[in-house]
Chains A and B, each alone.
Chain A
Amino acid sequence: MRASERARRTSSAVVLYVIILVAFQVFLITVAVEAFQTDAESLAWATAAVSVALFAAAAAFLRYLRP
């Protein structure tokens, strides 16, 4: 496999991972709203922690993309 082809596939995979992470973030915000409605503070904070971790992962994936 040529280097350019490998790089293209790598960037496609990275974008796909980021899309999956963002989709999971959208799910998490529904969980946070549900926790807010039911006054479940522990669930709300756990959701926020996972959400921040996913954002950090998405930002880390961005570094693997070609400029």
Chain B
Amino acid sequence: MSQRQEPIEVPVAPPWKRDFPYEALSEEEVTRREFARYLVLGAGTIAVANVGIAAWTQLRSINAGEPRAITPLADVAVGEPHLFRYPGDDDPAILVRLSDTDVVAFSQKCTHLGCVVYYEPHQERWHCPCHEGYFEVRTGNVISGPPTRPLGRIDLEVRDDGMIWALGRQT
């Protein structure tokens, strides 16, 4: 009783290989599966990095800041902005004195792509020059442009000694 044998497949070189019969020394050292495994490993590394970035973003926004003295109210003229850092030393912030007693402050980072915003005294609005985003001066709400979220507001208090205090940042 004879068993049927499977035909042996003889590998046939493709025409390009016959025309160009050269091989690199390490050509056969990485298999297709190994190459795919490296890619998946890279994808895993990027996934871990993305989770880390998300956690970092979350932790950073939790830091609303401790109460801190910013500057004397008398040193800020009406209609003039004042730059400071809050809640951390890497967080640019800006305040503007709108009247004798009215002071507002916001994170200076535009909520579109993180450019710094400036105060436009004539139009009384915040302006992001990168992509022409505009925000309301008192609320930080978006007036026009690509941003979709308001500026991060910083609560202020003018104390009896005339010093402006930052009390915390609203996200």
Residues of B within 8 Å of A11, CB to CB, are 32-33
A4-40 with Cβ < 8 A to chain B = 4, 11-12, 14-15, 18-19, 21-22, 25-26, 28-29, 32-40
Residues of chain B at interface, number, CB under 8 A: 32
Known contacts: A37-B114, A38-B112. The answer to whether A51 contacts B50 by CB under 8 A is: yes
Chain B's interface: helix, strand, loop or mixed, by majority? helix
Shortest distance in angstroms between A45's beta carbon and chain B's nearest beta carbon?
5
Shortest distance in angstroms between A1's beta carbon and chain B's nearest beta carbon?
13
> How many A-B pairs with Cβ below 8 Å?
113
Chain A's interface: helix, strand, loop or mixed, by majority? helix
B78-95 with Cβ < 8 A to chain A = none
**Distance, CA A40 to CA B159, complexed state (A):** 33
Contact A52 B51 (CB under 8 A): yes
- Asked if B77 is at the interface (CB within 8 A of a chain A CB), the reply is no
Q: A40-B111, A40-B149 are in contact. List 10 more A-B contacts (CB 8 A).
A: A11-B32, A15-B32, A15-B35, A18-B40, A22-B39, A22-B42, A39-B57, A51-B46, A51-B50, A55-B40
B interface list, Cβ under 8 A from A: 9, 32-33, 35-37, 39-40, 42-44, 46-47, 49-51, 53-54, 56-58, 60-61, 109-114, 149, 152, 171
The 3 A-B pairs of least Cβ separation, nearest first, read A37-B114, A44-B54, A51-B50
